[in-house]
Amino acid sequence: MAIIEVSGLRKAYAGKKAVDGVSFDIGEGEIFGILGPNGAGKTTTVECVAGLRRPDAGSVRVAGYDPAADRDSVTRVLGVQLQESELQPKITVREAFELYAACYPDPADWRPLAERLGLTDKLRTRFAKLSGGQKQRLSIALALVGQPAVVILDELTTGLDPRARRDTWRLIQDIRDSGVTVLLVTHFMEEAQRLCDRIALIDKGRITALDTPSGLIGRTAGSTAISFVPSAPLEAGLLAELPSVVSVTHENDRIVVHGTDETVNGVLSLLAGRGITAHQLRVTEATLDDAYLDLTGQDA
């Protein structure tokens, strides 16, 4: 059952299209990722879902509510951690938790959240004195205080060190396991591949691909690569004729063949049939970085 429904979403600024006909559904309890280059329309899309911007056309529903017309109802089911957010400079972390908790009829106990996100020893610290990573963790915690059914996380772990990033990933997985739906906007390919059930790639305001992480990776040309140094010369063209080969390149003595699992089997059979040993043999799978590059034409 879809808890978020976006259909034909369009938004332009000064005549320039930021979002151009975006449509997708998100199921209850799903972690749904949005990836794309800077300026692709990701943040505008989630701001329309959150009711922070009114779309020029199309429709958005969150738990059946229109975020623009039913703001009170949506704020009861939706938590938001924005890419950039600020609090009053002199408010302390404790005061921020207590203020946000007071806005909800049945708030979560914020103390375990503070502990989980490493903020317990910062409760008396004013917002202006927090580091960028601490502000980010506080923003995530405040988005969860209202016990939302849906949470939007825009650039979830920007500014966090590797340990804090992984701790936050575990928190998000625990949140999903409790039944909360997560809409995640990120630039971290590893984060998207690890957390998301499905991913929409947005480029130039449009969805160019929507699939599971493994499904997107499977679309990558040459999703599997086998590389080796042959023990004897290999006739030119033999490898290129094997099933599903995308490319064959030479890096000094090393040969690299891009293709599929079928290609790997073909290479090994060819070598065995000619009595050639594959030294320094390596088989690698494509990653979400590779899929992103293939599908958007841009570096991750």
Please spell the DSSP secondary structure of 242-287, one letter per residue.
STT--EEEEETTEEEEEE-HHHHHHHHHHHHHTT--EEEEEEEE--
Confidence band, pLDDT 50/70/90 cuts, at residue 5: very high
How many angstroms separate the CA atoms of 182 and 31, rounded?
Answer: 5
User: 298 by DSSP, 3-state: which?
Assistant: coil
| 25 burial via Cβ count (<10 Å: 0-12, 13-18, 19+) | middle
* pLDDT recorded at residue 222: 64
Neighbour order of strands in the sheet with 206-211: 78-81, 150-154, 181-185, 31-35, 198-203, 206-211
236: its two tokens: 């030119």
How many angstroms separate the CA atoms of 162 and 260, rounded?
Answer: 32
* pLDDT recorded at residue 297: 63
242 or 83, greater pLDDT: 242
In the chain, % of residues over pLDDT 70 = 98
| pLDDT digit string, tens, across residues 184-238 | 998 888 899 999 999 999 999 999 999 999 888 877 766 788 999 999 998 868 9
How many angstroms separate the CA atoms of 58 and 20, rounded?
Answer: 10
* pLDDT recorded at residue 77: 93
Mean confidence (pLDDT) of the chain: 90
How many angstroms separate the CA atoms of 181 and 30, rounded?
Answer: 5
How many angstroms separate the CA atoms of 195 and 185, rounded?
Answer: 11
134: its two tokens: 């601490």
N-terminal to C-terminal alpha carbon distance within the chain: 32
Q: How many residues does the chain have?
A: 300
Whether the CB-CB separation of 295 and 201 falls below 8 Å is answered with yes
* pLDDT recorded at residue 293: 80
Confidence band, pLDDT 50/70/90 cuts, at residue 298: low
User: 24 by DSSP, 3-state: which?
Assistant: strand
* pLDDT recorded at residue 221: 64
All domains of the chain in start order, with CATH:
2-211 (3.40.50.300), 220-297 (3.30.70.980)
pLDDT at 25 over 80: yes
